[in-house]
Amino acid sequence: MSEYPQIPSDPTQNTRVDSLTRVLTPVELKNERKKSEVAQQTVLEARAGIERILAGEDKRVLVIVGPCSIHDEKAALEYAGRLNEIRKQYEDRIMFVMRVYFEKPRTTTGWKGLIYDPHLDDSFDIEHGLRAARGLLLEINDIGLATATEFLDPIVPQYIDGLISWAAIGARTTESQTHRQLASGLSMPVGYKNATDGNLQVAINAMIAARGHSSFLGITPGGQVAIVKTAGNPAGHLILRGGADGTNFDAASIAHAENELQQAGLSPRLMVDCSHANAGKSHEQQQHVWRSVMEQRVKGNRNIIGMMLESNLVEGRQNLGTHKSALVYGQSITDECVGWEKTVELLGELYDALK
C-alpha cells in the first residue's frame, strides 16, 4: 500500500479526509491468490444446488451455519474442517454452507470485521484483510465446503465473490438502493433480511428491485471506475430474523410472510434466521428457534427452505480487549454463538427428523 501523491489544495473538497491510500486491485489479488479447479467446482455446484432448493426441485434443507464473524483464521479453518466431516455424512438431506462473514454492520461503533481490521487493533490494514479473506475462502472451498457471507461494501465483492455460494443483504442495508443494485449483479443466490424493526415489506421491495436491471457506478477487476449494468438476480429469497416488534419464526408469522410474498408475486419460499432478534442474540435461545422451525418443516411446510445458525467452536461470546493473547480460542467477539457440541446435536436432530 502507498499513499497517493498530495492532491491539489481545494477548500471545498476532502476537508475531513486524513489520507488516501492505494490498495491492490481485484485482479492483482486474484492473480496473487488464484482459485483452484476444486474451489471453482465447489462454488458452481453449491450455487446450482441452492437454486434448485429455491425452485423446489431439491428437497434438502439449506443450512447456513458458522461463526457470527471471522476474526481468527486458524479457528475458522478448524471449524470448517469439522463441519465438512458432518457435511459428508448428512449431505443427502441437508445442504451445508458455512458462514464466513468478514464485514460486520454496526449500529453505532465497534469492530467492523476481518477485512477492515484484521489485526483487531484499529490499524485498519484493509489490504491485509482482503488477502486474509480471499485466502481463507480458497482454503475452505478447496475442501469441498461452500461458503456464505454478507456483503456491505459494494467494492468488496470484486475481490471475493467468485468464492461465495450464497450471500446475504442484512437488515440494516436491505432498504439501501446501493445494496439492491449490488444484489442485482451478484452471481450467487441472495437472501434478504427483514428490517430491524421487523418490517417485511422492505425486504420484499429489495427482492423485486434486485430482480430488475440496474446501472450504477462501480469498479472493474482492474480497479477502474466504471458504469456497471446488471441483468438482475432472480435467485432471491426472504430471511425472517425477527425485529424490534418481536420474533417471527412461529407458524403464524411464517404464514403471514408467505402470504405477503405471494401478494407481491414472489415465491413464498423463505429462510429463518435462528439468531439475532429471533433469539434475542442468546445462543441458548437459538436452540429453541431451531427446533421450532425444524418441527414446522418436518410437519410439511416445504416453503421453509432453510435455517441460519450462528455457531462456533466455543459457545457464547467475549469482549475484544486490548490484549489479543487473552482471547478464548474459537469464541465469538461479536454475537453469541452455539458451541460445537450443541451444533453437532442440532444438526443430528435435523437430519434424523428429515427421514
CA gap 95, 48 in Å, rounded: 11
Helix (H) or strand (E) holding 277: none
Question: CA angle at residue 152 from 47 to 67, to 5 degrees?
Answer: 65
CA distance 87 to 93: 10
Specify whether the CB–CB gap between 221 and 158 falls below 8 A. yes
The model carries a pTM of 0.96
The span from the CA of 49 to the CA of 111, in Å, is 34
- Residue 280 — φ and ψ, nearest 5°? 60, 30
Q: Is 20-353 assigned to CATH 3.40.50.970? A: no
Residues 6 or more apart from 254 whose CB is under 8 A from it?
240, 248, 270, 272, 296, 301, 303, 304
Q: What is the rounded end-to-end Cα distance, in angstroms, of the chain?
A: 54
Cell of 99: 458462514
Q: Quick check: 232 and 212 in contact, CB under 8 A?
A: yes
- Taking only the tens of pLDDT, the chain with its 355 residues reads 556 666 667 889 988 888 889 999 999 999 999 999 999 999 999 999 999 999 999 999 999 999 999 999 999 999 999 999 999 999 999 999 999 999 988 766 789 999 999 999 999 999 999 999 999 999 999 999 999 999 999 999 999 999 999 999 999 999 999 999 999 999 999 999 999 999 999 999 999 999 999 999 999 999 999 999 999 999 999 999 999 999 999 999 999 999 999 999 999 999 999 999 999 999 999 999 999 999 999 999 999 999 999 999 999 999 998 678 899 999 999 999 999 999 999 999 999 999 8
The three cell numbers of residue 32 are 496473487
CA angle 159, 111, 64 (to 5 degrees): 60
